[in-house]
Amino acid sequence: MKDEGYSSGSMLLSFLLGGIVGAGLALLLAPQSGQETRQKIRELADDVKDKATGYVDQTKQMVTSYVDKGKGLYDEKKSLVTSAIEAGKEAYEKEKEKLSKG
């Protein structure tokens, strides 16, 4: 039976979201001016955007890789099935010739 666990993607997303929440709380609770807080929030938002973009790019690459592997596997199996059908047709024709001569 397959072990049901968390994927590395969901773990990474959980850590990312936890970091965002923690950083947001730290900014809101820290004693500083409003301008400093807004600047830190902007920096945090930019950092999160960069990390999210990187995560999306990694996911796209992984999906593309799996799709390419799937296409290759499909083409391979399609070739095998086509060969098997051709062999079956040839065997049928040979057997049909034997029966018509015999």
> Where in the sequence is the domain holding 16, given as residue range(s)?
8-101
User: What does the pLDDT average to over 21-42?
Assistant: 78
Cα 68 to Cα 54: distance, rounded to the nearest angstrom:
21
Residue 2 has pLDDT above 80, yes or no: no
| The model's pTM | 0.45
* Residue 1 placed within a domain: no
Q: Residue 3: pLDDT band by 50, 70, 90 thresholds?
A: low
Residue 3, domain member (yes or no)? no
Average the pLDDT over 41-68 and give the result.
87
For the chain, the domain total comes to 1
Q: Average the pLDDT over 52-61 and give the result.
A: 87
